[in-house]
Amino acid sequence: MLKVAVYDTKPYDRQYFEEACGSKNIKWQFFDFRLTETSAVTAAGAQAVCIFVNDKANRSCLETLAEVGVKLITLRCAGYNNIDLKAAKELNLRVTRVPAYSPHAVAEHTIGLLLALNRKIFRAYNRVRDLNFSLKGLIGFDVCGKTAGIIGAGKIGKLVAKILRGFDAKVLVYDPVQDLEWANSYGIDYVDLSVLLKKSDIISLHVPLITETFHMLDDQAFDLMKPGVFIINTSRGKVINTASLIKALKSSRIGGVALDTYEEEEGIFFEDLSDQILLDDELSRLLTFPNVLITAHQGFFTHEALCEIAKISVANLEALSLKTPFLPGTILN
């Protein structure tokens, strides 16, 4: 029987993992708290741990996991900047992830955010419920004919670009790796980042968080953008400098911003803080702007994506138990 400690879990995590497991020889130990160097001792007796985006698997944490007998760390997400891979390798801890659970989920959420922001749907919904049927302040624009800039053309970025072409928008893409066959088939142009920032009416971010993308939208980037630009971020929070974003919003340079991720979301997103005081001043400021729409990292949150996350994670856990190879493309070390 393979014992697995699962951290930072919600009821839906438990449901989908138990369903994916079926009759497999896995015993779950679900924790609602996060994995940290302090809580790592709770993995004692487990051969594997399963972690999420806000768990912190630094060297100290990994040393404790290795000491208590853990052999595998499986991330139920695509990002892995919260784990020290070098330390994991030195400690003979294998690490896997779920690289592409449902690109369609995030891509569709991106378009949903764009439409809700542009057509003021969230404001209209609240107004009508208060019996205010005025259209004042609800003017949007046609996406058709606009120029949309996609920063990062991985699986999600390509899907967003394809959907926007369906709106008959002109699409520009910035990515260090160019897939010209794909771009030509949809009438999409690769351009330098500065060109994209200058020409786009809509900018959508789909990049991983690496050194090159940290705060890639800063004061200098915002200064290059068209007045009234709409920005959508469903990738990683730290690719936008929040202080610079607030400055650009206050100057009315930006027409609207939709965020599904936030620079300092840890400890806020995925939690119910409705009866507390929000201590994050920058997030509090963002929430005061009428042209800012924020969702709490729910882009991935579909039935299909949760099924895929659980299925891939369980498959790699079973591989550990059976001493068979992990799934191709999921191995980080």
Q: Where are the alpha helices (DSSP H) in 254-324?
A: 281-286, 303-322
C-beta separation of 5 from 51 below 8 A: no
C-beta separation of 192 from 222 below 8 A: no
Torsion sign, CA atoms 168, 174, 175, 179 = positive
Band of pLDDT at residue 102, cut at 50, 70 and 90: confident
**Please, which residues have CB within 8 angstroms of residue 86's CB and are 6 or more apart in sequence?**
none
Band of pLDDT at residue 23, cut at 50, 70 and 90: confident
Q: What is the mean pLDDT of residues 269-297?
A: 96
DSSP 8-state symbol, 325? P
The pair of three-digit structure tokens given for residue 147, joined into one six-digit string: 């120029």
What mean pLDDT, rounded, does the chain reach? 97
Question: Is 304 an annotated catalytic residue?
Answer: no
User: CA–CA separation, 10 vs 17, rounded Å?
Assistant: 11
Q: Which of 206, 263, 297, 308 is catalytic?
A: 297
Q: Do domains 2-101+302-332 and 103-294 have the same CATH topology?
A: yes
* pLDDT, tens only, 118-152: 999 999 999 999 999 999 999 999 999 999 999 99
Bridge-partner residues for 246, per DSSP? none
Residue extents of the structural domains in the chain:
2-101+302-332, 103-294
The pair of three-digit structure tokens given for residue 326, joined into one six-digit string: 């992990």
The pair of three-digit structure tokens given for residue 170, joined into one six-digit string: 């002109």
pTM (two decimals): 0.92
Q: How large is the C-alpha radius of gyration of the chain?
A: 21
C-beta separation of 116 from 295 below 8 A: no
The string over 10-28, giving b where at least 16 C-beta atoms fall within 10 Å of a residue's C-beta and e elsewhere, is eeebeebbeebbeeeebeb
- List the CATH code of the domain at 103-294: 3.40.50.720
What is the CATH superfamily name and number for domain 2-101+302-332? NAD(P)-binding Rossmann-like Domain (3.40.50.720)
Q: How far is CA 50 from CA 17, 81, 261, in A?
A: 11, 15, 22
Q: Which of 206, 263, 265, 308 is catalytic?
A: 265
Question: Is 265 an annotated catalytic residue?
Answer: yes
* pLDDT, tens only, 45-90: 999 999 999 999 999 999 999 999 999 999 999 889 899 999 999 9
The predicted pLDDT at position 296 comes to 97
* pLDDT, tens only, 180-227: 999 999 999 999 999 999 999 999 999 999 999 999 999 999 999 999
Question: Is 297 an annotated catalytic residue?
Answer: yes
Q: Which of 94, 97, 109, 236 is catalytic?
A: 236
C-beta separation of 151 from 145 below 8 A: no
User: CA–CA separation, 259 vs 265, rounded Å?
Assistant: 11
C-beta separation of 224 from 191 below 8 A: no
Bridge-partner residues for 151, per DSSP? 174, 205
DSSP annotation string for 119-164: TTHHHHHHHHHTT----TT-----STT-EEEEE--SHHHHHHHHHH
Q: What is the mean pLDDT of residues 229-246?
A: 98
Bridge-partner residues for 173, per DSSP? 150, 190
